[in-house]
Amino acid sequence: MQAAVRIFDSKPDIAKMLANGDVENLARTVEIGGTDFDHDENTRKEAVDALGSLADQRAVDPLIGALQDENERVRLSAVAALKRHEAFDPLVNAMHVNDSGVRRAAVEALGQLGNPRAVLPLTETLADDDRRVRAASVEALAKLDEPSVDPLIHELQVTDSQARRAAAEALGQLGNPRAVLPLIAALKDQDWHVSFAAACALKQFNDPRSLEPFIEVLSEGATDVRRVAAEALGQLGNPRAVEPLVRTLYAENSDVRRVAAEALGQLGNPRAVEPLVEVLSDRYKNVREVAAWALGQLGNTQAVGPLIRALEDPYSDVREVAAWALGQLGDSRALNPLNEALKDDNQRVQKAAAHALKNIASKSSHSKHSITIT
């Protein structure tokens, strides 16, 4: 059997080739496998990196060939080298190879190059089978900014649900107001993953046009969509959302109830006081905790008695927030219960009670001072 032909008589000196701009021998090192050092992936990777450093267009073809190398590190280095050469078409082609790692690297490279010609090829990868490739496509399209908006809006209507979902995510990152109405339509997508992505994107806009659509999905959407809708309604700050959020305090899912209570605290409407007082008896501690916080935000003294009772809650997180809320209300009826809370087994509850007592004393002093001046 004839011995394998060696390409070089000794290990290739990559540094010397690079210094001499020796594209031909660097390409041979990358392209031709053999025994020993010719087949060493580290050597091939060094040669690929060197080709990426040379301002010579002859380096592009061997780099394209290196995308098919048996070693992943060499393939990924080839993508990085092609990016340095700003080799647009080879990078677009690399988004369709079998290796998902190469596809993702090519997507990221095109996003970094910032060429608007990449928008349409990138929108095609929103339907990629690999979640990481789709995520990279979202990031890349967001970097390309304005030229991506209309193609992404179009993607909200394609058949592939993964592409619709990724398009909604990208539009949220872009923040272009042209996307608001298409995203509102996507709230009713049959795939809840898409409607969830649309809701998350819309929440970032904080656009008043989303008020009624969010109220609508608050009562009939999937659980995660309802949660995001409640968060968005709290941010929008419109009193029109108070009644729908009050109804949502009785939702089956505890996380939806929790977020609705938080949103009502943000809105600051006194209509929410009595319903939030009821929620202090919710069977889930995280819901009770947020209800106590919301009552502290509302500042209505109707909540003093229920919050005093919450100081006896079996969970320290609820007791801590109840103490804080009583300090916010500043009502002297809470003095004795808060003094008792200074003996709580939990140090955070003790600190919250001490801080609340200081707040009440300060508000009482300020009130007396105001009366004296009057």
| 40 and 113 together in one domain | no
Q: Is residue 328 one of the residues assigned to a domain?
A: no
Q: Domains in the chain: how many in total?
A: 3
> Model confidence over 249-259: pLDDT tens digits?
999 999 999 99
Are both 71 and 131 inside the same structural domain?
no
Whether residue 348 is predicted with pLDDT greater than 50 in this model: the reply is yes
Output Rg (C-alpha) for the chain, integer angstroms: 31
Q: Are residues 8 and 77 in the same domain?
A: yes
| pLDDT at residue number 34 | 40
Task: Indicate if 93 and 201 belong to the same structural domain.
Answer: yes
Judge whether 356 lies within some domain. Answer: no
Which domain-ending residue is among 260, 276, 298?
A: 298
Residue 5 binned pLDDT confidence (cut-offs 50, 70, 90): very low
Domain with residue 284: its CATH number is 1.25.10.10
3-17, 149-163, 291-305, 339-353: which range is least confident on average?
Answer: 3-17
Q: Give the confidence band of 6 by pLDDT, cuts at 50, 70, 90.
A: very low
The answer to the question of residue 313 being in a domain is: no
Tokens of 291: 């209800």
Domain end residue (candidates: 205, 231, 253): 205
Give CA–CA dist 28/32, Å, rounded: 6
* Overall average pLDDT of the 298-311 stretch: 97
Q: What is the dihedral of CA 250, 251, 255, 256, to 10 degrees?
A: -100
Average pLDDT, the chain: 92
Collect all residues with Cβ–Cβ distance below 8 Å to 1 and sequence separation of at least 6: none
In a domain, 360, yes or no: no
Q: Are 278 and 303 in contact (CB under 8 A)?
A: no
Query: Are 64 and 96 contained in the same domain?
Result: no
Q: What is the pLDDT of residue 31?
A: 78
Q: Are residue 93 and residue 158 in the same domain, yes or no?
A: yes
pLDDT over 90 (residue 207): yes
In this predicted structure, what is the pLDDT of residue 363?
77
- Do 102 and 190 sit in the same domain of this protein? yes
The band of 32, judged by pLDDT with boundaries at 50, 70 and 90, is low
The structure's pTM equals 0.84
pLDDT exceeds 80 at position 277: yes
Q: Could you list the residue range(s) of the whole structural domain that residue 154 is in?
A: 88-205
| Residue 310 is assigned to a structural domain of this protein | no
Q: Are residues 199 and 221 in the same domain?
A: no
Q: How many CB atoms lie within 10 A of CB 124?
A: 15
DSSP code for 93 = H
